[in-house]
Amino acid sequence: MMPLLTTKNLARNFGGLRAVDGVDFQLMPGEIRAVIGPNGAGKTTFVSLISGRIQPSSGMIVFDGADITSQPAYLRVRQGIAYTFQITSVFANLSAYDNVALPVQRTLTDGRSKGAVRTGVMAALERTGLADRAHMPAGQLSYGHQRLLEVAMGLALKPRLLILDEPTQGLADSEIDNFIELVREIAKSATLLLIEHNMPVVMQLADRITVFNAGRILAEGTPEQIRANTQVQEAYLGTAP
Amino acid sequence: MSEASPAKAYALHLGVIALLFALSFVLPDYHHGLLARIMVLAVFAMGYNMLFGYVGLLSLGHAMFFAAGLYGAGLAVIHLGWNVPLAFLAGIACGALLALVIGLLALRTTGVAFMIVTMMFAQVFYLVILYFAAWTGGDQGLVVPQPARVLSFGATSLDLTNPTVRYMSALALFSIVLLITLAIVRSRYGRVLVAVRENEERTKMLGYDTFSNKLIAVVVSGTICAASGAAYALLFGYVGSSFASVQYSILPLLWVLLGGAATTLGGLIGTVFMYYVIDIASGYTSAYLLIVGIALILLVLFFPKGILGTIRQRWLGWLP
């Protein structure tokens, strides 16, 4: 099977800091992949390179067989790479409905399909449990609901690859359970790349885990393999004296 | 914004147009003439609002688009002897072309840099008008000859210098632009423009080419302003460089801020308000700018989002 996403020797420097340092990475279609690592390991930079929010210093990104390294972000989104932000950045002054209508209407080519926008928006809102709040300004939603709205916007893009950057950050435990269900549901139709700090969530969801440290991939494997990996334990807990 | 209460919004806008139509028959001569002028300038304000209110791009150079329409139409009549409809189209075309070029260059910047770049281009445009005084009349300006300001359809002809014809022409332009603006704002494209204003980075990450969307908005805005300028030249018969000066870049900003940025009717309300405050105040004292200043300060204190913007925020959430 051909990987959906491949990066070859991907690197990004910020001044003298090598935030992402020669990463070779592969993602298979249909996977749920978690990316973990200590703070500053380069996880967010890595997914920002994939989504096109920042340009790599060197290396190559291949999505579905095509080299997308020099493509601007909006074209990558149109090819099916959706990114939900770590810091919630919904359009606070627009209603939840309008927030989701933006991605929905872009995926529709038929300009007359007024009904189709409404159907698409309500479907995404219902999937995330926000349908009854459609007409509230997004800024007035609770934090947890704003996170869900982010996911709804990502979903509405009908992505082939959905990148979730710390989706459960700031959610209450009760909300996290629902969230895990939602992610499983999404994974039926999209490949998922998930940056996450919450280990129980990672262990429950991920098919495979990639561990970043200091801009490089430290380890990769199934949740069991990663749990047993001594290098990973050292990276998180510090080297034993 | 766009799915809610379309009927109400259209009814309100058609009501405003009907009111302006009815006013033509009851207003005394002086106010009749003033309102015709205000409607033409309100079109300028609406064009400005398209970019400033909905996309959030603050231009300090929109006088150049107004002047492009003004000179495009005026010079076509004076030097080329074109008839009124052709000259009007020439003015609009000049504005659209200028907006496209300026947009391509100025949209490389945002924020304060965008303000400065647009202002500089407008200054260049202003100086170019002065430099080519042989054709443009320099700082004296030119008068569009009265016999040329006639709209002919076969045997019948409409004299644009006639007050009623002038008023109705201004109203027709105003109504068309108002309804176009309303349609754009309520469309999917309007939703994208607001998204760009609210958070451009996020809009990109939803797959939108924000540069192209902004460029289209600049061209639409510039074209509407040029239509206002072209109509001004043909209806009021004067083409002058003062309309290209920085003052005429600031005025639409003031009108829109007063009336309410990102409201479709804000341009009209702001222009009417400003003109009548000046008109009434200057009737009492020669220091009328003082009164205008106080009125502006009061408005900013009590209506920080402009007249309509504050009304929308407090009472009528459905206003487009």
Q: How far apart are CA B245 and CA A142, in angstroms?
A: 49
Task: Tell me which residues of chain A have a pLDDT lower than 70.
Answer: 109-114, 237-241
Residue B308, pLDDT > 80, answer yes
* Chain B residues touching residue A85 (CB < 8 angstroms): 202, 205
Cβ distance B205 to A95 less than 8 Å, yes or no, reads: no
Query: Does B193 fall in a domain?
Result: yes
Q: What percent of chain B has pLDDT above 90? A: 72
* pLDDT of B179: 95
Query: Does B77 fall in a domain?
Result: yes
Cβ atoms B58, B73 nearer than 8 A: no
SS (H, E, C) chain A: CCCCEEEEEEEEEECCEEEEEEEEEEECCCCEEEEECCCCCCHHHHHHHHHCCCCCCEEEEEECCEECCCCCHHHHHHHCEEEECCCCCCCCCCEHHHHHHHHHHHHCCCCCCHHHHHHHHHHHHHHCCCHHHCCCEHHHCCHHHHHHHHHHHHHHCCCCEEEEECCCCCCCHHHHHHHHHHHHHHHCCCEEEEECCCHHHHHHHCCEEEEEECCEEEEEECHHHHHHCHHHHHHHHCCCC
Q: Which residues contact B121 (CB under 8 A, 6 or more apart)?
A: B61, B64, B102, B105, B106
Query: Does B171 fall in a domain?
Result: yes
Cβ distance A92 to B198 less than 8 Å, yes or no, reads: yes
Token couple for B198? 């609210």
Cβ distance B2 to A98 less than 8 Å, yes or no, reads: yes
Confidence of residue B3 (pLDDT cuts 50, 70, 90): very low
Write the pLDDT tens digit of every residue in B57-93.
999 999 999 999 999 999 999 999 899 999 999 999 9
Cβ distance A89 to B199 less than 8 Å, yes or no, reads: yes
Residue among B18, B36, B63, B9 nearest B253 (CA): B63
Nearest-CB residue to B204 (from A73, A92, A97): A73
ipTM: 0.84
Query: Does B289 fall in a domain?
Result: no
Residue A91 Cα, gap to closest chain B Cα (Å): 6
Cβ distance B195 to A102 less than 8 Å, yes or no, reads: yes
Write the pLDDT tens digit of every residue in B228-267.
999 999 999 999 999 999 999 999 999 999 999 999 999 9
Interface residue of B187, B191, B206 to substitute, partner A, most A CBs within 10 Å: B206
Q: In total, how many domains does chain B have? A: 1
Domain boundaries, position B89: 6-246
Residue A111 Cα, gap to closest chain B Cα (Å): 9
* pLDDT of A238: 62
Q: Where are the domains of chain A?
A: 19-80+159-241, 94-157
Residue among A14, A41, A23 nearest A214 (CA): A41
Query: Does B286 fall in a domain?
Result: no
Q: How far apart are CA A221 and CA A208, in angstroms?
A: 5
Residue type, A149: L
Token couple for B12? 């309100």
Q: Give the residue from chain B lying closest to A108, CA to CA.
A: B188
Query: Does B236 fall in a domain?
Result: yes
Cβ distance A74 to B210 less than 8 Å, yes or no, reads: yes
Q: Give residues 202 to 261 of B whose Cβ lies within 8 Å of A.
A: 202-210
Nearest-CB residue to B206 (from A92, A94, A103): A103
Residue B1, pLDDT > 50, answer no
* pLDDT of A194: 92
Hunting for tokens 């005429």 — which residue is that? B248
**Other CB atoms within 10 Å distance of the CB of residue B303:** 19
Residue among A61, A60, A45 nearest A12 (CA): A45
Confidence of residue B5 (pLDDT cuts 50, 70, 90): low
* pLDDT of A128: 87
Cβ atoms A4, A191 nearer than 8 A: yes
**Is the domain A19-80+159-241 a CATH 3.40.50.300 member?**
yes
Cβ distance A73 to B192 less than 8 Å, yes or no, reads: no
| Residue B271 dihedral angles phi and psi, to the nearest 5° | -65, -45
Computed over every residue of chain B, the mean pLDDT equals 91
Cβ atoms B91, B227 nearer than 8 A: yes
Cβ atoms A36, A223 nearer than 8 A: no
Confidence of residue B2 (pLDDT cuts 50, 70, 90): very low
How many beta-carbon contacts under 8 Å exist across A and B?
67
